Chain A
Amino acid sequence: MNNLRILYHMARADFLERVRRYSFLLVLAATGYLGFAINRGDLYLELDGYRGVLNSAWVGGMMAASSVLLLTLFGFYLVKNTIERDRETGVGQIIATTPISRPMYLLGKWLSNTAVLLTLIIILALAALVMQLLGGESSRLDSWALLAPFLLLALPAMLLVAAIALFFETISWLRGGAGNVIYFFVWLFALISALESKVFWFDWTGLWITWQSMAEALTKVYPGYSGGFNFTEQALPAGGLLTFEWMGIHWTPEILLSRFIWLIVTVVLVLVSSLFFRRFDPAFEKIRKPQKSTSQTLDGMGEVPTSIQHTEHQPVQLSVLARDWPRFSFLQLLAAEIRLLLKGWPWWWYLVALGLVLGTLFSPLETTRAELLPFAWLWPILLWSSLGCRETHHNTRQIVFSTPHPLRWQLPSAWLAGFLFAALMGAGAAVRFLLAGETLSLFSLLAGALFIPSLALVLGVWIGSSKPFEVIYMMLWYIGPFQKTAALDFMGTSTATSWPMFAGLAVVLFIIAVVGRQRQLAD
Chain B
Amino acid sequence: MTRSAHTAGLIVVWLLTLLVPSVTQAGFTETVPKHTFIVDEAFVLSWVHGAWDDGSHRASLVDAIEMYEPGGPLQGILTPDPHVRQMVLINQLQYGITDGLTVALGIPVVLRSEVDPRFGWTPGEYQSRLGRVYSEQDFWDWAAGMGQAKPGTFDGNHGVLSDLVVGLRWRFSDHLPWLGEHGLALSLLAFGILPTGRAADPDEVISVGTTLWDLYAQGDLGVHLGVDKTFERELDGRLALGLDAFYEAFFERTRRAPNGGTENKLLLNQAPYVGDTYRVKPGDWSGAACQVSMVPWNGPSRGSWLTGGDDGKAARMPPLVTLSVGYRFLHMQQTDWSSRAPHWDWKREEDKRPGWRHTLSARASFSFLRLGAPVQVYVTYSNSSWLPGKNTVAPDMLSTGIQVPLKFW
Note whether A and B form a binding pair. Answer: no
